[in-house]
Amino acid sequence: MARVYNWQIRREMSYWYPESRPKRQFAAVFDTNKCIACQTCTLACKTTWTSGKGQEYMLWNNVETKPYGFYPLAWDVNLLEKLGTQSWDGERYTGRTIFEAAQAGERVLGWRPEDIDYANPNVGEDDCVNGVEKGAHFSGVHNAWFFYLARICNHCTYPACLASCPRGSIYKRQEDGIVLIDQGRCRGYQECVKACPYKKTFYNTMTGTSEKCIACFPKIELGLQPQCFANCIGKIRFAGWISKPEQARADNPIDFLVHVKRVALPLFPQFGLEPNVYYIPPLNVPREFLLQMFGPNVDAAIEAYRNAPNDKDLAGLLTLFGSTDRIVTKWKRIDEQMLGYDEGGKEIVRVPVREPAHVRQAFDAARGVARTNVS
């Protein structure tokens, strides 16, 4: 075991290999508040990558309803229970990561789902916490809650799948930090399936190998966002590149959202993988739940997000989500417009900080009639 630094938990930790960060790291921000669980992302991925034999059950991208939705069943709560108490001292995680909590003989603390655990990918869909009384209607704050959590592979800085593979069949690309399973070398031991806390590696019964989300690397190489991003109806996703906190560039959209505004947070940072998909936490969920899921900066992230109407830079960046299928590596705001640039410094998208809106009056004075939605 080597000692590596994980900035998400603000401390050194044990990892199977020494620290070796890629030249640049693929990253993404998902705005959970905008997801409607239409599963268009799921299908975009499914039809692109997992239509083969043995891949029938695989969803490299999935959207689940939290807290009762899981794919595979109980993927997060199973591990949380195994890991035991997870304590933070401010922003420093003082509990054990899954590498530090590995049982004797193992490289990573994990568990291995069976086929039945994948059998109901949308179990818990739209089930909310607390019953809704008959006749209840929305009149402000309500206590019933759920939210949609869209998930892909996190292309972690310290991947558990990579650490666990006894054959070294999993590698992290130096050029973009994307984590891949070498399909020529894998022998289907499923150690990665057991180790990945997010359960984003899958065993293919027909090829006898394990497979996973490849972040649509052929698209990334062309400067395009992955399929699940480009097809997102709710425009909740934004792909790009993330720097280490001390090297953050304010004009890099991902750095700005994660490091400067700190509005987007990693999923279960306490596991210790330094995952690279960042979530803007949902507003309507009890903080205790969010603290466990996204770490100790939830309050600040929600506050920053709520302040977006007064923060033109943040509002503009959120409007860039889903506005182009290309990867925006740099942004600039000119008054009420937000501009996105590609790697060559070429402008590829320009959006208003606030979408223009026209409100029609409920009563049409010219015709002397009340307007309805169909008029």
Partner 1 sequence: MGCRTQQMEQSLQQPYVILSRRRRISVFEILHFVQDDIRTVRFFLTSVIILSLVLAGCGEKGPPVSESEVRAVFEKTIPSNLDDKAWEQIPVHHAKLLLQDMVEPRLMQASTAFVDVQSVTDGQKIIFRLSWNDQTLDDVPGPGRFGDAVAVQLPATPTPDVPAPQMGENGKPVEITYWSAILQAIVNGRKDDIQAIYPYANVGHYPFEAAPLKQGSATQQEMAKRYAPARSLENPMSGPRTVPVQDLIAEGPGTLRAAEKILSNGSGKHSQAGWTVVIVRPFPSGVQLGGRTQVAFAVWEGSHQEVGAKKMRTAWIPLSLGSSK
Residue from 266, 267, 232, 303 nearest 41 by CA: 232
Using the minimum distance from each CB to partner 1, give the nearer residue, 27 or 45: 45
218 scored as a contact of partner 1 (CB under 8 A): no
> Closer CB to partner 1, residue 205 or residue 292?
205
Whether the CA torsion 312, 313, 318, 319 is positive or negative: it is positive
Is residue 94 a contact residue for partner 1 (CB under 8 A)? no
Among 143, 174, 183, 247, the residue binding partner 1 under the rule CB under 8 A is 183
Sign of the four-CA dihedral 32, 38, 40, 45: positive
Q: How far is the CB of 119 from partner 1 (least distance, A)?
A: 10
Structure tokens at 367: 């015709």
**Tokens for 288?**
């205790």
Residue 41 near residue 63 (C-beta atoms within 8 A): yes
Distances (CA, A) of 5 to 2, 12, 41, 198, 295: 10, 4, 33, 21, 17
Written as one string, the DSSP assignment of 255-313 is: HIIIIIS---EESSGGGSS--SEEEEPPTTS-HHHHHHHH-TTHHHHHHHHHTGGG-HH
Least distance CB 285 / partner 1 (angstroms): 30
CA dist 186 and 174 (Å) reads 20
115-123, 147-155, 332-340, 352-360 -> range binding partner 1 (CB under 8 A): 115-123
Contacts of 171 (CB under 8 A, 6+ apart): 162, 179, 180, 182
174 neighbors 22 (Cβ within 8 angstroms): yes
> Should residue 171 be labelled a site residue for partner 1 when binding is judged by CB under 8 A?
no
**Residue 363 in contact with residue 370, Cβ under 8 Å?**
yes
Question: Among 190, 243, 292, 323, which residue interacts with partner 1 (rule: CB under 8 A)?
Answer: 190
The closest of 109, 127, 7, 9 to 66, measured between CA atoms, is: 127
Q: Checking phi first, is residue 309 left (phi over 0); if not, alpha (psi -120 to 50) or beta?
A: alpha
Q: Which member of 99, 148, 202, 305 binds partner 1 (CB under 8 A)?
A: 202
- Can residue 18 be called a binding residue for partner 1 (CB under 8 A)? no
- Considering only residues 20, 144, 208, 347, which one is a binding residue for partner 1 as defined by CB under 8 A? 208
The answer to the question of residue 115 lying near partner 1 (CB under 8 A) is yes
Q: Binding of partner 1 at residue 374 (CB under 8 A)?
A: no
Q: Which stretch binds partner 1 (CB under 8 A): 180-188, 237-245, 324-332, 343-351?
A: 180-188
Task: Answer yes or no whether residue 204 interacts with partner 1 by CB under 8 A.
Answer: yes
Applying CB under 8 A, does 114 fall inside the site for partner 1? yes
Footprint of partner 1 on 43-72 (CB under 8 A) = 51-57
Q: Around Cβ 208, how many Cβ atoms within 10 Å?
A: 11
Q: Which of 164, 276, 319, 324 touches partner 1 by CB under 8 A? A: 164
Q: Which residue has the tokens 């640049």?
A: 24
Tell whether residue 207 is a contact of partner 1 (CB under 8 A). yes
Residue of the chain from 5, 17, 88, 189 that contacts partner 1 (CB under 8 A): 189
- We find the least distance from the C-beta atom of residue 150 to partner 1, in angstroms, to be 22
Q: Smallest gap, in angstroms, from Cβ of residue 112 to partner 1?
A: 5
Residue 131 lies near partner 1 (rule: CB under 8 A): no
With binding defined as CB under 8 A, does residue 104 bind partner 1?
Answer: yes
Tokens 């930790």: give the residue. Answer: 13
Minimum CB separation of residue 202 from partner 1 in Å reads: 7
Out of 76, 211, 255, 274, the only residue in the binding site for partner 1 (CB under 8 A) is 211
Asked if 191 is part of the footprint of partner 1 (rule: CB under 8 A), the reply reads yes
Q: Which residues bind partner 1 (CB under 8 A)?
A: 51-57, 104-107, 112-115, 117-118, 164, 166-168, 183-191, 193, 202-209, 211
